[in-house]
Amino acid sequence: MARLKTIEWTGKAVRLIDQTLLPGKLVYEDITNVKDMHHAIKVLKVRGAPAIGIAAAYGLYLAASDFPDDRTSSDFLAYIEKNERYLAGSRPTAVNLFWALNRVKNHAHILADSKTVPEIKVSMLEQAHAILAEDREMGKKIGEHGYELLKQHTNILTHCNAGGLATAEYGTALAPIYVGAESGTAFHVYADETRPLLQGARITAFELQHAGIAVTLLCDNSAAFLMKRGLIDAVVVGADRIAANGDTANKIGTYSVALAAKAHSIPFYVAAPSSTFDPAIASGEDIPIEERDAEEVTEGFGRRTAPQGIDVLNYAFDVTPHELIWGIITEKGALTAPLSESINTVRTS
């Protein structure tokens, strides 16, 4: 089974797959400066909460690498703070972005009194490497825990892309599928196309087909009908931010899928690393929701499909209330209701 490498360090650059070109072209791009990394995150060359976090960590190092070695540590930290804010502005919803930036920045602050600027730079790069390695391991563990929940099912629905191309390797929602394949279990994945940018069609279907896993592509608005016909056994999706009570932000359309699953008594699971939990957010009502350009809806991929001048509301994410979620699969195990108590246990363990 061939899994794609979403993001890696070459020794001089961050090499990532330009996901805006999928599935027509598989192109690797080398990012060598913070400006290009900001752009790559903003325009979705790299996407998926865990992968965004990894990219941001390396992006902050790339910024640091341009700072003169003979300047003071205090000047260096001010420069890091500025670039952290710059990278944080690339996308507002995925909490992994802020978590990774904060981790690398705080590491630089801890070392500032005892290390030189060049030494701090090296250590920041090591932190980015660690975030990448930890994500690979977390994905595998999420897959193992999720497989125990899903192995009794055959036909799995997913929305958007939370596979290897959204992380360092295994993914989150698709990790149980990959672990199952390694164990000889043949899952059949139904992938929503995921309007308006078609991450399910362009990316999920692409990577599953590349890995030799059975996949059927669906129009977004057909999922409930398939559930009614008995074609879906379980749903598993990823997450970009999870509130303290278990409310979960994920790609727009996820809430509709969760409602349909509830109506048909179909298990609905969220798969995400513990870094996706945001204890500062009490509920989904407080999660900032990114709004993207109208052109993604009116003339996606270069072809106009709506009248000129039409008003557009293009939310990138929605929030699924915790009451609709059967469980959240993390690297530390599967959390069940009441989710607020389970989440608190994971955060403090």
Q: Which residues are catalytic?
A: 240
Nearest to 85 by CA among 67, 66, 98, 72: 98
CA distance 343 to 349: 10
CA distance 109 to 76: 10
Nearest to 256 by CA among 214, 222, 207: 222
Residue type, 39: H
Residue pair 331/137 in contact (Cβ under 8 Å)? The answer is yes
Cα 202–chain centre separation: 16
CA distance 241 to 244: 10
N- to C-terminal Cα distance for the chain?
A: 34
CA distance 87 to 85: 6
Structure tokens at 309: 């001048």
Structure tokens at 281: 């957010």
Q: What are phi and psi of 30, to 5 degrees?
A: -95, 120
Q: What is the DSSP letter of 44?
A: T
